[in-house]
Amino acid sequence: MTTTRGRLVYANQTVVDQTDFFQPDGFTRVTGLTPAALVCQLFFDNQLQPWQLVTGLNLTDTQIASGSVYWVEVPGSPGIYSVRFRPNAVGYWRLLISYPAGKQISGQDYDIHPLPPAVDQGLKWRTTT
């Protein structure tokens, strides 16, 4: 089973996403997956990055750093997995996470844009002297 979709994200923001892997019945979720059971490939502008899939247990979104992809089963939701990473450049990113034992792959692409410029948000007081 393969899933893929795209998202727009701004530079230097933590990407927060989820992925699913299923038993052979195609319905029951696989629980207890750790980074050791998976294969992660992250591409930036079609170049494979050396980022490792690591556990994200007990890390907040602000603690996510560039250079790793963070994986954790969502507490209280067996078989639902959180995937987080922080792209460190503007461009096209693609994340593939494979579950070889279940013959499944999850693919997600991200279009990373620079932060939009600050827009004037209202009235300005002008004083005259």
Q: What is the residue extent of each domain of the chain?
A: 2-113
For the chain, what percent of residues have pLDDT higher than 90?
78
Q: What is the pLDDT of residue 1?
A: 44
* Alpha-carbon span 55 to 37, nearest angstrom: 12
Q: Please name the amino acid found at residue 76.
A: G
Q: Please name the amino acid found at residue 7.
A: R
Does domain 2-113 bear CATH number 3.40.50.300?
Answer: no
Encode pLDDT of 72-108 as tens digits: 999 999 999 999 999 999 999 999 999 999 999 999 9
Contact 54, 97 (CB under 8 A): no
Counting Cβ atoms within 10 Å, is residue 49 exposed (0-12), middle (13-18) or buried (19+)? buried
Phi, psi dihedrals of residue 44, rounded to the nearest 5°: -120, 120
* Alpha-carbon span 90 to 2, nearest angstrom: 26
Structure tokens at 36: 């050791």
Structure tokens at 45: 């502008």
For the chain, what percent of residues have pLDDT higher than 70?
89
